[in-house]
Amino acid sequence: MASHTSECLLIIDVQNDFCPGGALAVPDGDQVVGIVNRLGERFAHRVLTQDWHPAGHLSFASSHPGRAPMETTTLPYGEQVLWPDHCVQGTRGAEFHSELEVNGSELILRKGFRREIDSYSAFFENDRSTPTGLGAYLRERGFERLYLCGLATDFCVGYSALDARRAGFAVAVVDDACRAIDVNGSLAAAWREMESVGVERVTSEALARA
Ligand code: VGL
Ligand code: ZN
- Between the CA of 142 and the centroid of ligand 1 the distance, in Å, is 28
Query: Could you read off the pLDDT of 3-33 as tens digits, one per residue?
Result: 578 999 999 999 999 999 999 999 999 999 9
pTM value > 0.85: yes
Residue 68 exposed, middle or buried by CB count within 10 Å (0-12, 13-18, 19+):
exposed
Can 51 be counted among the known catalytic residues? no
Per-residue buried b or exposed e for 12-42, using 16+ beta carbons within 10 Å of the residue's own CB: bbbbbbbbeebbbbbeebbebbebbbebbeb
- Between the CA of 114 and the centroid of ligand 2 the distance, in Å, is 11
Do residues 161 and 173 touch, judged by C-beta distance below 8 A? yes
Measuring from atom 2 of ligand 1, which residue has the nearest CA? 155
Can 176 be counted among the known catalytic residues? no
- State the first-to-last Cα distance of the chain, in angstroms, to the nearest integer: 6
Rounded (10°) angle between helices 186-196 and 158-166: 20
Report the relative pairing of strands 72-75 and 78-81 from DSSP bridges.
antiparallel
Can 156 be counted among the known catalytic residues? yes
Query: Could you read off the pLDDT of 99-123 as tens digits, one per residue?
Result: 999 999 999 999 999 999 999 999 9
